[in-house]
C-alpha cells in the first residue's frame, strides 16, 4: 500500500480542541489518524434487538472531517474492539482503507499497521475514549480524548475535544489537523 502523501504538525490553537493541563504535545509530523469506534465515532451506546446488534449512529460532520483529512494527505485507520457490519459499511462509505475490528490488543494491531505503512509512532495520532485505548494513546505522537472520555483516557491524552464522542468530536480533531496543514502550506 502507498504511504500517506504528506505529513502535518499538530496545532494547539484550533477551536474545539484544547491541550490538557500539564500536557504538551510536541509539533510532530502526523501522517495517520487512528480512530476508535464506540465512544469516538459513535456515542458509545449499543442498540440490540432480538437478533443482536441492529445499528450504530454516526455523525455526518465526523464523516466530512475524515474526508477533508484524507484530502489533506493524512490517512485514517479504524481500530475497534468490537465487530460490526455498520462500522464496515460506514468505513467503506468514507473510503477508509485500514479497518481492523475485533481487536483485543489495539497497540499490537497498530504495530502491524504501522509496519505495513512504514510509519513511526511519532507520525501517528489517535482519538480514544476509554481504558482499552490508553496503551495506544501513550504510544503515539499525539493523543486526543473526546470530551466525555473516561478519566484514564483523558489523562493519557495531549488534547481533548469540546464535543463528546459520536457528536462531532472526530470532526474537531480533523479540523485541528487540517488547520495545521493549511498553516504549513502558507509558510514561505
What is the set of domains in the chain, with CATH numbers? Answer: 8-186 (3.40.50.1000)
For residue 106, how many other CB atoms are within 10 A of its CB? 23
Contact yes or no for 160/17 (Cβ under 8 A): yes
Residue 149 φ then ψ, to 5°: -70, 155
Q: How much is the pLDDT for 7?
A: 42
Q: Over 80: is that where the pLDDT of 80 sits?
A: yes
Q: What are the pLDDT digits (tens) for 120-148?
A: 999 999 999 999 999 999 999 899 999 99
Q: Over 90: is that where the pLDDT of 52 sits?
A: no
Q: How much is the pLDDT for 12?
A: 41
Q: What is the pTM of this model?
A: 0.84
Residue whose entry in the numeric block shows the C-alpha cell 496545532:
11
- In this prediction, what percent of the chain has a pLDDT beyond 70? 81
What is the C-alpha separation between 52 and 92, in angstroms, rounded?
22
Q: How much is the pLDDT for 13?
A: 40
Q: At what angle do helices 169-186 and 60-71 cross, to 10 degrees?
A: 30
Amino acid at each position: 500500500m502507498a504511504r500517506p502523501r504528506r505529513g502535518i504538525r499538530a496545532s494547539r490553537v484550533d477551536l474545539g480542541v484544547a491541550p490538557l493541563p500539564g500536557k504538551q504535545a510536541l509539533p510532530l509530523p502526523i501522517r495517520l489518524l487512528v480512530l476508535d469506534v464506540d465512544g469516538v465515532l459513535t456515542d458509545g451506546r449499543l442498540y440490540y434487538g432480538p437478533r443482536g446488534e441492529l445499528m450504530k449512529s454516526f455523525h455526518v460532520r465526523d464523516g466530512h472531517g475524515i474526508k477533508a483529512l484524507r484530502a489533506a494527505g493524512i490517512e485514517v485507520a479504524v481500530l475497534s474492539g468490537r465487530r460490526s457490519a455498520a462500522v464496515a459499511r460506514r468505513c467503506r462509505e468514507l473510503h477508509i482503507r485500514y479497518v481492523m475490528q475485533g481487536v483485543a490488543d489495539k497497540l499490537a494491531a497498530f504495530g502491524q499497521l504501522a509496519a505495513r505503512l512504514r510509519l513511526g509512532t511519532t507520525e501517528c495520532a489517535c482519538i480514544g475514549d476509554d481504558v482499552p485505548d490508553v496503551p495506544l494513546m501513550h504510544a503515539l505522537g499525539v493523543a486526543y480524548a473526546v470530551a466525555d472520555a473516561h478519566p484514564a483516557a483523558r489523562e493519557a491524552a495531549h488534547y481533548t475535544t469540546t464535543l463528546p464522542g459520536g457528536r462531532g468530536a472526530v470532526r474537531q480533531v480533523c479540523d485541528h489537523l487540517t488547520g495545521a496543514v493549511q498553516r504549513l502550506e502558507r509558510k514561505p
